Structure 1
Protein backbone atom coordinates (compact mmCIF):
# COMPACT_ATOMS: atom_id res chain seq x y z
CA UNK A 1 0.00 0.00 0.00
CA UNK A 2 1.22 3.52 -0.77
CA UNK A 3 2.25 5.06 2.59
CA UNK A 4 0.04 7.84 3.96
CA UNK A 5 2.05 10.57 5.68
CA UNK A 6 0.56 13.23 7.94
CA UNK A 7 2.68 16.39 8.08
CA UNK A 8 1.93 18.48 11.18
CA UNK A 9 3.50 21.90 10.56
CA UNK A 10 2.14 25.39 11.25
CA UNK A 11 4.52 27.26 8.94
CA UNK A 12 2.60 27.44 5.65
CA UNK A 13 5.61 27.75 3.33
CA UNK A 14 7.39 24.76 4.88
CA UNK A 15 4.19 22.69 4.94
CA UNK A 16 3.67 23.36 1.21
CA UNK A 17 7.30 22.46 0.46
CA UNK A 18 7.02 19.22 2.41
CA UNK A 19 3.73 18.35 0.72
CA UNK A 20 5.20 18.91 -2.75
CA UNK A 21 8.41 16.94 -2.17
CA UNK A 22 6.80 13.99 -0.40
CA UNK A 23 4.11 13.67 -3.08
CA UNK A 24 6.87 13.75 -5.69
CA UNK A 25 8.38 10.73 -3.90
CA UNK A 26 5.10 8.88 -4.35
CA UNK A 27 3.62 9.26 -0.85
CA UNK A 28 0.04 10.25 -0.08
CA UNK A 29 0.29 13.40 2.04
CA UNK A 30 -2.12 15.17 4.38
CA UNK A 31 -1.38 18.44 6.16
CA UNK A 32 -2.33 19.63 9.64
CA UNK A 33 -1.64 23.15 11.00
CA UNK A 34 -1.80 22.43 14.75
CA UNK A 35 -1.71 19.68 17.35
CA UNK A 36 -5.44 19.62 18.01
CA UNK A 37 -6.30 19.18 14.34
CA UNK A 38 -3.58 16.52 13.99
CA UNK A 39 -5.12 14.38 16.74
CA UNK A 40 -8.55 14.68 15.10
CA UNK A 41 -7.18 13.72 11.68
CA UNK A 42 -5.33 10.73 13.14
CA UNK A 43 -8.49 9.60 14.91
CA UNK A 44 -10.42 9.74 11.63
CA UNK A 45 -7.73 8.09 9.48
CA UNK A 46 -4.64 6.39 10.85
CA UNK A 47 -1.53 7.49 8.92
CA UNK A 48 1.43 5.23 8.19
CA UNK A 49 3.86 7.88 9.45
CA UNK A 50 3.67 11.31 11.09
CA UNK A 51 6.14 14.15 10.47
CA UNK A 52 5.61 16.27 13.57
CA UNK A 53 6.78 19.77 14.45
CA UNK A 54 7.42 20.41 18.16
CA UNK A 55 6.33 24.05 18.40
CA UNK A 56 2.66 23.95 17.37
CA UNK A 57 -0.43 26.03 18.16
CA UNK A 58 -3.08 24.63 20.58
CA UNK A 59 -1.29 21.39 21.47
CA UNK A 60 2.49 21.04 21.23
CA UNK A 61 4.10 18.36 19.11
CA UNK A 62 5.68 16.71 22.14
CA UNK A 63 2.21 16.43 23.73
CA UNK A 64 0.77 15.03 20.49
CA UNK A 65 3.55 12.43 20.49
CA UNK A 66 2.86 11.56 24.15
CA UNK A 67 -0.89 11.10 23.53
CA UNK A 68 -0.33 8.96 20.45
CA UNK A 69 1.96 6.66 22.41
CA UNK A 70 -0.62 6.33 25.21
CA UNK A 71 -3.40 5.05 22.92
CA UNK A 72 -3.43 1.41 21.88
CA UNK A 73 -4.56 2.16 18.31
CA UNK A 74 -1.80 4.76 17.68
CA UNK A 75 0.98 3.35 19.87
CA UNK A 76 2.95 1.98 16.94
CA UNK A 77 2.48 4.80 14.39
CA UNK A 78 5.98 5.92 13.30
CA UNK A 79 6.75 9.53 14.30
CA UNK A 80 9.56 11.74 13.01
CA UNK A 81 9.93 14.99 14.94
CA UNK A 82 10.98 17.95 12.82
CA UNK A 83 11.91 20.91 14.98
CA UNK A 84 14.12 23.93 15.54
CA UNK A 85 14.88 22.68 19.06
CA UNK A 86 18.36 21.27 18.60
CA UNK A 87 19.68 20.98 22.14
CA UNK A 88 20.74 17.50 23.23
CA UNK A 89 18.23 17.62 26.11
CA UNK A 90 15.41 18.38 23.62
CA UNK A 91 16.47 15.51 21.37
CA UNK A 92 16.55 13.12 24.33
CA UNK A 93 13.14 14.32 25.52
CA UNK A 94 11.64 13.89 22.04
CA UNK A 95 12.99 10.34 21.67
CA UNK A 96 12.04 9.42 25.24
CA UNK A 97 8.49 10.64 24.61
CA UNK A 98 8.21 8.18 21.74
CA UNK A 99 9.55 9.77 18.54
CA UNK A 100 11.23 7.23 16.24
CA UNK A 101 13.57 9.85 14.77
CA UNK A 102 14.42 13.50 15.40
CA UNK A 103 15.50 16.02 12.74
CA UNK A 104 16.61 19.57 13.54
CA UNK A 105 15.68 22.55 11.34
CA UNK A 106 17.10 23.73 9.01
CA UNK A 107 17.38 20.39 7.24
CA UNK A 108 18.02 18.97 3.78
CA UNK A 109 14.91 17.57 2.10
CA UNK A 110 16.95 14.61 0.85
CA UNK A 111 17.88 13.77 4.45
CA UNK A 112 14.25 13.86 5.60
CA UNK A 113 13.18 11.59 2.72
CA UNK A 114 16.02 9.17 3.51
CA UNK A 115 15.00 9.14 7.20
CA UNK A 116 11.35 8.49 6.25
CA UNK A 117 12.41 5.54 4.09
CA UNK A 118 14.60 4.20 6.90
CA UNK A 119 11.82 4.44 9.50
CA UNK A 120 9.29 2.80 7.17
CA UNK A 121 11.75 0.00 6.33
CA UNK A 122 12.28 -0.64 10.02
CA UNK A 123 8.72 -0.27 11.31
CA UNK A 124 6.53 -0.78 8.21
CA UNK A 125 8.63 -3.06 5.96
CA UNK A 126 5.69 -3.95 3.72
CA UNK A 127 5.22 -0.27 2.83
CA UNK A 128 8.85 0.44 2.04
CA UNK A 129 9.68 -2.04 -0.71
CA UNK A 130 11.91 -0.25 -3.19
CA UNK A 131 10.70 -2.49 -6.02
CA UNK A 132 7.46 -4.24 -6.89
CA UNK A 133 7.73 -7.14 -9.34
CA UNK A 134 4.53 -8.74 -10.61
CA UNK A 135 4.48 -10.81 -13.79
CA UNK A 136 6.57 -9.01 -16.40
CA UNK A 137 6.04 -5.57 -14.78
CA UNK A 138 8.59 -3.96 -12.46
CA UNK A 139 7.91 -0.74 -10.52
CA UNK A 140 11.03 0.93 -9.10
CA UNK A 141 9.75 3.30 -6.40
CA UNK A 142 13.14 4.93 -5.75
CA UNK A 143 13.95 5.76 -9.37
CA UNK A 144 10.26 6.27 -10.28
CA UNK A 145 10.66 3.96 -13.23
CA UNK A 146 8.48 1.23 -14.69
CA UNK A 147 9.55 -1.61 -16.97
CA UNK A 148 7.48 -4.22 -18.74
CA UNK A 149 9.19 -7.13 -20.41
CA UNK A 150 12.52 -5.40 -19.79
CA UNK A 151 11.50 -2.25 -21.66
CA UNK A 152 10.96 1.18 -20.17
CA UNK A 153 7.36 2.35 -19.73
CA UNK A 154 6.84 6.10 -19.46
CA UNK A 155 4.09 7.13 -17.03
CA UNK A 156 2.82 10.38 -15.58
CA UNK A 157 2.83 10.74 -11.76
CA UNK A 158 -0.84 9.79 -11.35
CA UNK A 159 -0.54 6.74 -13.60
CA UNK A 160 2.57 5.72 -11.64
CA UNK A 161 0.70 5.90 -8.30
CA UNK A 162 -2.26 4.06 -9.81
CA UNK A 163 -0.09 1.21 -11.11
CA UNK A 164 1.85 1.10 -7.82
CA UNK A 165 -1.41 0.64 -5.89
CA UNK A 166 -2.78 -2.03 -8.24
CA UNK A 167 0.57 -3.87 -8.13
CA UNK A 168 0.28 -4.12 -4.36
CA UNK A 169 -3.02 -6.02 -4.67
CA UNK A 170 -2.90 -8.19 -7.82
CA UNK A 171 -6.21 -9.83 -8.58
CA UNK A 172 -8.23 -7.67 -6.22
CA UNK A 173 -11.05 -5.63 -7.74
CA UNK A 174 -11.20 -1.96 -6.71
CA UNK A 175 -14.13 0.37 -7.32
CA UNK A 176 -13.49 3.81 -8.79
CA UNK A 177 -14.21 5.33 -5.38
CA UNK A 178 -11.66 3.07 -3.67
CA UNK A 179 -9.02 4.00 -6.24
CA UNK A 180 -9.81 7.70 -5.84
CA UNK A 181 -9.37 7.44 -2.08
CA UNK A 182 -6.13 5.43 -2.31
CA UNK A 183 -4.42 7.26 -5.19
CA UNK A 184 -5.79 10.82 -5.10
CA UNK A 185 -6.57 10.99 -1.36
CA UNK A 186 -9.85 11.24 0.52
CA UNK A 187 -9.50 14.99 1.02
CA UNK A 188 -9.40 15.75 -2.74
CA UNK A 189 -12.59 16.04 -4.78
CA UNK A 190 -12.20 14.31 -8.13
CA UNK A 191 -15.01 12.87 -10.23
CA UNK A 192 -15.13 9.06 -10.42
CA UNK A 193 -14.88 9.12 -14.23
CA UNK A 194 -11.40 10.64 -13.85
CA UNK A 195 -10.26 7.16 -12.85
CA UNK A 196 -11.39 5.85 -16.26
CA UNK A 197 -9.28 8.47 -18.02
CA UNK A 198 -6.12 7.57 -16.09
CA UNK A 199 -6.75 3.83 -16.44
CA UNK A 200 -6.97 4.43 -20.20
CA UNK A 201 -3.62 6.26 -20.19
CA UNK A 202 -2.04 3.53 -18.05
CA UNK A 203 -3.30 0.82 -20.41
CA UNK A 204 -1.98 2.68 -23.45
CA UNK A 205 1.48 2.99 -21.89
CA UNK A 206 1.67 -0.59 -20.62
CA UNK A 207 0.36 -2.18 -23.81
CA UNK A 208 2.56 -0.17 -26.13
CA UNK A 209 3.78 -3.20 -28.06
CA UNK A 210 0.56 -5.22 -28.15
CA UNK A 211 1.21 -7.14 -24.94
CA UNK A 212 -1.77 -8.65 -23.16
CA UNK A 213 -3.67 -6.02 -21.19
CA UNK A 214 -2.95 -6.64 -17.47
CA UNK A 215 -5.81 -4.39 -16.31
CA UNK A 216 -9.20 -6.06 -16.18
CA UNK A 217 -12.42 -4.05 -16.23
CA UNK A 218 -15.06 -5.65 -14.02
CA UNK A 219 -18.47 -4.43 -15.09
CA UNK A 220 -20.33 -2.47 -12.40
CA UNK A 221 -17.44 -3.10 -9.98
CA UNK A 222 -14.21 -1.45 -11.07
CA UNK A 223 -10.70 -2.50 -12.07
CA UNK A 224 -8.20 -5.20 -11.23
CA UNK A 225 -4.60 -5.99 -12.10
CA UNK A 226 -4.90 -9.46 -13.65
CA UNK A 227 -1.41 -10.74 -14.40
CA UNK A 228 -2.66 -14.18 -15.41
CA UNK A 229 -4.41 -12.65 -18.40
Structure 2
Protein backbone atom coordinates (compact mmCIF):
# COMPACT_ATOMS: atom_id res chain seq x y z
CA UNK A 1 0.00 0.00 0.00
CA UNK A 2 1.40 3.38 -0.96
CA UNK A 3 0.60 6.86 0.29
CA UNK A 4 -1.54 7.32 -2.80
CA UNK A 5 -3.58 4.25 -1.77
CA UNK A 6 -4.89 6.16 1.25
CA UNK A 7 -7.57 8.47 -0.07
CA UNK A 8 -8.05 11.96 1.29
CA UNK A 9 -10.27 13.55 -1.36
CA UNK A 10 -13.77 12.66 -2.46
CA UNK A 11 -14.66 9.02 -1.94
CA UNK A 12 -15.58 6.72 -4.78
CA UNK A 13 -18.80 4.83 -4.13
CA UNK A 14 -19.79 1.88 -6.28
CA UNK A 15 -23.54 1.32 -6.35
CA UNK A 16 -24.61 -2.14 -7.57
CA UNK A 17 -28.29 -2.46 -8.43
CA UNK A 18 -28.69 -6.22 -7.98
CA UNK A 19 -32.44 -6.52 -7.93
CA UNK A 20 -33.48 -3.07 -6.72
CA UNK A 21 -33.11 0.21 -8.57
CA UNK A 22 -31.79 3.18 -6.62
CA UNK A 23 -34.40 5.79 -5.87
CA UNK A 24 -33.99 9.01 -7.82
CA UNK A 25 -33.81 10.84 -4.47
CA UNK A 26 -30.87 8.70 -3.28
CA UNK A 27 -29.00 9.07 -6.57
CA UNK A 28 -29.53 12.83 -6.56
CA UNK A 29 -28.42 13.09 -2.93
CA UNK A 30 -25.27 11.04 -3.54
CA UNK A 31 -24.41 13.10 -6.61
CA UNK A 32 -24.84 16.31 -4.58
CA UNK A 33 -22.13 15.41 -2.07
CA UNK A 34 -18.46 15.18 -3.01
CA UNK A 35 -18.44 11.50 -3.95
CA UNK A 36 -17.55 9.85 -7.17
CA UNK A 37 -20.44 7.53 -7.98
CA UNK A 38 -20.28 4.57 -10.35
CA UNK A 39 -23.25 2.28 -11.12
CA UNK A 40 -23.31 -1.42 -12.02
CA UNK A 41 -26.17 -3.80 -12.76
CA UNK A 42 -24.66 -7.30 -12.62
CA UNK A 43 -22.42 -9.34 -10.35
CA UNK A 44 -19.73 -9.59 -13.05
CA UNK A 45 -19.76 -5.83 -13.71
CA UNK A 46 -19.66 -5.15 -9.97
CA UNK A 47 -16.64 -7.38 -9.37
CA UNK A 48 -14.83 -5.91 -12.38
CA UNK A 49 -15.57 -2.35 -11.25
CA UNK A 50 -14.31 -3.08 -7.73
CA UNK A 51 -11.01 -4.41 -9.10
CA UNK A 52 -10.57 -1.58 -11.60
CA UNK A 53 -11.82 1.38 -9.56
CA UNK A 54 -10.97 0.49 -5.93
CA UNK A 55 -14.05 2.08 -4.35
CA UNK A 56 -14.08 3.08 -0.71
CA UNK A 57 -17.65 1.84 -0.31
CA UNK A 58 -19.81 -0.67 -2.16
CA UNK A 59 -23.56 -0.16 -1.89
CA UNK A 60 -25.62 -3.16 -2.98
CA UNK A 61 -29.28 -2.48 -3.72
CA UNK A 62 -31.37 -5.63 -3.51
CA UNK A 63 -34.88 -6.91 -3.04
CA UNK A 64 -33.45 -9.62 -0.80
CA UNK A 65 -30.00 -10.91 0.09
CA UNK A 66 -29.54 -13.97 -2.10
CA UNK A 67 -26.99 -15.86 -4.16
CA UNK A 68 -25.86 -12.90 -6.29
CA UNK A 69 -25.20 -10.70 -3.28
CA UNK A 70 -23.52 -13.56 -1.43
CA UNK A 71 -21.25 -14.18 -4.43
CA UNK A 72 -20.12 -10.54 -4.43
CA UNK A 73 -19.36 -10.60 -0.69
CA UNK A 74 -17.53 -13.93 -0.81
CA UNK A 75 -15.47 -12.98 -3.85
CA UNK A 76 -14.39 -9.66 -2.33
CA UNK A 77 -13.53 -11.27 1.01
CA UNK A 78 -11.14 -13.72 -0.70
CA UNK A 79 -8.78 -11.07 -2.07
CA UNK A 80 -6.44 -8.98 0.11
CA UNK A 81 -6.98 -5.88 -2.04
CA UNK A 82 -10.77 -5.97 -1.65
CA UNK A 83 -11.49 -7.78 1.60
CA UNK A 84 -11.76 -4.60 3.69
CA UNK A 85 -13.93 -2.55 1.33
CA UNK A 86 -17.09 -1.86 3.33
CA UNK A 87 -20.29 -3.25 1.85
CA UNK A 88 -23.55 -1.52 2.71
CA UNK A 89 -26.76 -3.25 1.62
CA UNK A 90 -29.93 -1.32 0.93
CA UNK A 91 -32.57 -4.00 0.82
CA UNK A 92 -36.22 -4.79 1.23
CA UNK A 93 -35.64 -8.15 2.88
CA UNK A 94 -37.67 -8.41 6.08
CA UNK A 95 -36.44 -11.92 6.92
CA UNK A 96 -34.11 -11.60 9.94
CA UNK A 97 -32.19 -14.74 8.94
CA UNK A 98 -31.43 -13.30 5.50
CA UNK A 99 -30.08 -10.17 7.17
CA UNK A 100 -27.99 -12.30 9.55
CA UNK A 101 -26.62 -14.21 6.55
CA UNK A 102 -25.67 -10.89 4.95
CA UNK A 103 -23.73 -9.83 8.04
CA UNK A 104 -22.04 -13.24 8.21
CA UNK A 105 -21.01 -12.72 4.58
CA UNK A 106 -19.19 -9.55 5.58
CA UNK A 107 -21.46 -6.58 5.07
CA UNK A 108 -21.14 -3.64 7.46
CA UNK A 109 -24.71 -2.33 7.34
CA UNK A 110 -28.15 -3.44 6.11
CA UNK A 111 -30.67 -0.67 5.79
CA UNK A 112 -34.14 -0.11 4.44
CA UNK A 113 -34.63 1.79 1.20
CA UNK A 114 -37.34 3.69 3.08
CA UNK A 115 -34.71 5.62 5.06
CA UNK A 116 -34.24 9.18 3.99
CA UNK A 117 -31.25 9.75 1.70
CA UNK A 118 -29.60 12.02 4.29
CA UNK A 119 -29.41 9.13 6.78
CA UNK A 120 -28.10 6.75 4.13
CA UNK A 121 -25.39 9.27 3.24
CA UNK A 122 -24.52 9.77 6.92
CA UNK A 123 -24.12 6.01 7.37
CA UNK A 124 -22.08 5.77 4.17
CA UNK A 125 -19.76 8.51 5.41
CA UNK A 126 -19.16 6.66 8.70
CA UNK A 127 -18.13 3.53 6.80
CA UNK A 128 -15.90 5.50 4.42
CA UNK A 129 -14.20 7.22 7.36
CA UNK A 130 -13.61 3.89 9.11
CA UNK A 131 -12.19 2.41 5.91
CA UNK A 132 -9.80 5.33 5.54
CA UNK A 133 -8.64 4.93 9.16
CA UNK A 134 -8.00 1.24 8.49
CA UNK A 135 -5.99 2.11 5.36
CA UNK A 136 -3.85 4.62 7.28
CA UNK A 137 -3.21 2.16 10.11
CA UNK A 138 -2.28 -0.57 7.63
CA UNK A 139 0.19 1.75 5.94
CA UNK A 140 1.73 2.71 9.29
CA UNK A 141 2.04 -0.96 10.28
CA UNK A 142 3.79 -1.79 7.01
CA UNK A 143 6.30 1.00 7.60
CA UNK A 144 7.05 -0.05 11.19
Which residue number in structure 2 is paired with residue 30 of structure 1? 38
Q: State yes or no: 1:2 paired with 2:10.
A: yes
- Listed as ranges, the matches of 1:11-160 within 5 Å are 14=22, 16-55=24-63, 60-125=68-133
Secondary structure of the residue aligned to 2:22 is helix
- 1:15 and 1:67 map into 2 onto residues whose CA distance is 27
Secondary structure of the residue aligned to 2:115 is coil
Alpha-carbon contact 2:61-2:90 (below 8 Å) kept: yes
RMSD: 2.4
Per-residue CA deviation, residues 141-178 of structure 1 (Å, 9 max, x unaligned), is xxxxxxxxxxxxxxxxxxxxxxxxxxxxxxxxxxxxxx
Choose between structure 1 and 2: higher helix proportion: 2
Unaligned runs of 5+ in 2: 1-8, 136-144
TM-score (norm 2): 0.75
Q: Flag the 1:111–1:19 CA change in 2: closer, same or farther, 3 A.
A: same
Aligned-residue offset at 1:89: 0.9
Secondary structure of the residue aligned to 1:74 is coil
Alpha-carbon contact 2:14-2:37 (below 8 Å) kept: yes
Secondary structure of the residue aligned to 2:37 is strand
TM-score (norm 1): 0.49
Q: Flag the 1:9–1:15 CA change in 2: closer, same or farther, 3 A.
A: farther
- 2:53 and 2:113 map into 1 onto residues whose CA distance is 28
Aligned-residue offset at 1:49: 0.6
Higher relative contact order (CA 8 A, sep 6+): 2
Unaligned runs of 5+ in 1: 128-229
Q: Flag the 1:75–1:63 CA change in 2: closer, same or farther, 3 A.
A: same
Count of residue pairs the alignment pairs up: 125
Aligned-residue offset at 1:64: 0.5
Alpha-carbon contact 2:22-2:61 (below 8 Å) kept: no
